[in-house]
Chain A
Amino acid sequence: MRLFDGQRAWLVQRISALLLLVMIVFGVLALPFAPPLDFAAWRAFAGGVLGGPLIALLFGALCAHAWVGMRDIVLDYIQPRGLRLAVLSLIAVVLLGVLVRVLLSLATVALVA
């Protein structure tokens, strides 16, 4: 399964890593200043023009990063072709599921808001 080959996979991994790093560092730095969260505020943030795309970007980068990393692990440790394909497919399904779930949740909140 060559969704990302050679250098492209490596670049996807590094660029998504940088993106995640920036978001995590900002997140941790912002945490002490964040007001205590209640349901309404959380929904407003996740459904807002800033929060929604930010959360979507976070999970997008997460899934791309996880794909390259998990695929590397499979290429290293699982050699039989059939099993390898099965595990790679399972990983792809899980990651796509995560992405769809998050986007649906965000869309629902955004539409209601």
Chain B
Amino acid sequence: MKLNIYRFDPERGDPPRMQAYEVQPEAGDKKLLDLLMRLRVQDDSLSFRRSCREGVCGSDAMNINGRNGLACLTSLDGLKEPIVLRPLPGFPVIRDLIVDMTQFFAHYHSIKPWLINDAPLPERERLQSPTERERLDGLYECILCACCSAFCPSYWWNPDKFIGPSGLLQAYRFIADSRDTASAERLDFLDDVYRLYRCRTIMNCTEVCPKGLSPSHAIERIRLALLRRSS
């Protein structure tokens, strides 16, 4: 199979270039990541992140034929050749397909991704009814791979101020949690032209989420929660 891959070497100081590769998939090679691992044998200078190889760790996010996705979840059949691989759009490139996620995680931290509840601890755990627990479905599964935020034009233009679809989905995960008592403060924090309201609901995030989640829906719920609060 033919591939065309974005190469950048910070030590050489040359501008990024595209490099053509050809590799023979072997029996059992089903996903793009399988192919990339074979390429590594051919050219061990080729750099990309990978770990769990099954869509749980979220480290092999990249731009595949113009759309963001996880290499380990992208099937080889159906991919148009040459397969064009580029780093996540809008993120600073460290080397080849590896991008700097510092800012992305800073946004994640800014929404306080932990349960806030100052009530005295119960003797055992804080209980949730099945209905309350169901409200977290479609939210807690996010693996922070950044496919969505790196496909969001609003995030491209204001990566330092807009929290981005991933961070907002995570924010709503805690707003929706019956055990969290800081919803009001969380909503206060989000009510801002930049943090939340850069979203124009083009739904690029939902289009590319490899876990099938819908950050745009979470954002819609945050806006409605803000509306309900102020009326």
Contact = CB atoms under 8 A, between A and B. Distances in A.
Do A and B touch each other in the complex, judged by CB within 8 A?
A: yes
A7 B198 contact: no
A38 interface: no
Interface residues of A, number: 12
A83 to B, nearest CB: 14
Interface string A56-81: 00000000000000001001110100
Contacts of B22: none
A82 interface: no
Contacts of A10: 197, 223
Interface in B131-172: 153-154, 157-158
Contacts of B230: 7
Contacts of B226: 7
B227 interface: yes
Contacts of A72: 200
A7 B229 CA distance: 11
A2 B198 contact: no
Interface string B192-204: 1110111010000
A72 B200 CA distance: 10
B191 interface: yes
A106 interface: no
Contacts of A79: 157
A6 B191 contact: yes
Contacts, number: 32
Given A75-B198, A76-B198, A7 B158 contact: no
Contacts of A5: 192-193
B227 A75 contact: no
B205 to A, nearest CB: 16
Nearest to B192: A6
Contacts of A77: 157
A76 B154 contact: yes
Contacts of A2: 193
Contact of A7 (B154, B157, B194, B227): B227
A10 B220 CA distance: 12
Contacts of A7: 191, 197, 223, 226-227, 230
A9 interface: yes
B191 A75 contact: no
Contacts of B193: 2, 5-6, 9, 75
A5 B190 CA distance: 12
Interface in A12-54: none
A51 B55 CA distance: 61
Interface of B: 153-154, 157-158, 191-194, 196-198, 200, 223, 226-227, 230
19 contacts: A2-B193, A5-B192, A5-B193, A6-B191, A6-B196, A6-B197, A7-B223, A7-B226, A9-B193, A9-B197, A10-B197, A10-B223, A11-B227, A72-B200, A75-B158, A75-B193, A75-B194, A76-B158, A76-B198
Top-7 shortest CB links A-B: A76-B157, A6-B191, A6-B192, A7-B191, A7-B226, A6-B193, A10-B197
Given A7-B197, A10-B223, A75-B194, 19 more contacts: A2-B193, A5-B192, A6-B191, A6-B192, A6-B193, A6-B197, A7-B191, A7-B223, A7-B226, A7-B227, A11-B227, A75-B157, A75-B158, A75-B193, A76-B153, A76-B154, A76-B157, A76-B158, A76-B198
